[in-house]
Structure 1
Amino acid sequence: MTSFTPELRFAQKVLDEQPFSVLVGARVEVFEPGRAVLALDIREDLKQQNGFVHGGVLAYAADNALTFAAGTALGPAVLTGGLTISYVRPATGVSLEAEATVVSSGRRQAICQCEIFAVAADGTRTLCAVAQGSVLTAG
């Protein structure tokens, strides 16, 4: 069960101000120093023609999880500087979880890693993608 700390409430408020995040139904599950977990339910309209979650949805989840994790180190005014993603296997199940951690941070930049898991109805988590990115302060 998610514990709704003031920090987590703030992070969810920021996410709710992003129209695309609202469109895909994203939510912040964890927001703590050096770490963030973003989740979303897998819906039919987020899949590609073969029935797997579209790679763009996985990239979105990685991008936002990376920036939220970096925000715990750099503050809330951050932007993605770049990211790479490797797709490990097709994503199927009931939800996605993107877990990002800060690997290194300075005053204006953080380097973060993210693992994206597809979660089955029974709670089994399967790694479907990994990403790494740089996040910069917006000022």
Structure 2
Amino acid sequence: MTGFDLSVAEQVLDAQPFSRLLKARITAFGDGAAVLELDIRDELLQQNGFVHGGVLSYAADNALTFAAGAALGPAVLTAGFSIQYVRPARGTLLTARAEVVHAGRRQAVVRCDLVMTGADDAEDGGTLCAVAQGTVLSTAKD
């Protein structure tokens, strides 16, 4: 989408007070895909020392919406999404990689893989801890 590139996506993310609170950053954007990253600190953990499910859900929601925005334009909102937690999230870096599966004129279906790196038992490419899928709607006026 002309005029909607990584620098604009970074500005949109920075305009979200909750994203600033979490210190999230968007590291890739375009061609129906987006990558959101979060450094994990103690405040983002639950009582057993794993990354809180709400943090994972936040990352999935935002990554899904940014990926859809790369396909539909900047005026988008999440209509709904589901998330499956496949293993406890442990590590120092959460990466949410989202990619549009199908985009129409007014909506997109997007998948997001949430991967943790930096844990003692992490593989080279990180450890998949959750998978999300959602529908994002364009709010642009025709």
**TM-score using structure 2 length:** 0.90
Residue 130 (1) aligns with residue 128 (2): no
Paired position in structure 1 for 2:52 = 54
Q: 1:1-139 residue pairs with structure 2 within 5 A? A: 7-120=5-118, 124=124, 125-139=126-140
Q: Which runs of 5+ in 2 are unaligned?
A: none
State how far apart, in whole Å, the 1-side matches of 2:73 and 2:20 are: 22
**TM-score using structure 1 length:** 0.92
State how far apart, in whole Å, the 1-side matches of 2:132 and 2:119 are: 24
Deviation at 1:55, TM superposition (A): 0.1
SS of equivalent residue, structure 1 residue 89: coil
State how far apart, in whole Å, the 2-side matches of 1:81 and 1:71 are: 13
SS of equivalent residue, structure 1 residue 116: strand
Amino-acid identity (%): 63
State how far apart, in whole Å, the 2-side matches of 1:121 and 1:59 are: 20
* CA deviation string 1:103-134 (max 9, x = no partner): 00111100000000011168831000000000
State how far apart, in whole Å, the 2-side matches of 1:15 and 1:42 are: 18
Q: Which amino acid aligns with 1:94?
A: T
State how far apart, in whole Å, the 2-side matches of 1:85 and 1:10 are: 27
Q: Which runs of 5+ in 1 are unaligned?
A: 1-5
State how far apart, in whole Å, the 2-side matches of 1:126 and 1:93 are: 9
Q: Which amino acid aligns with 2:136?
A: V
The alignment yields a C-alpha RMSD, in angstroms, of 1.4
How many residues of Structure 1 are paired with residues of Structure 2 in the alignment? Answer: 134
Deviation at 1:9, TM superposition (A): 1.1
Q: Which amino acid aligns with 1:138?
A: T
State how far apart, in whole Å, the 1-side matches of 2:99 and 2:29 are: 10
Of 121-130 and 103-112, the range deviating more from structure 2 = 121-130
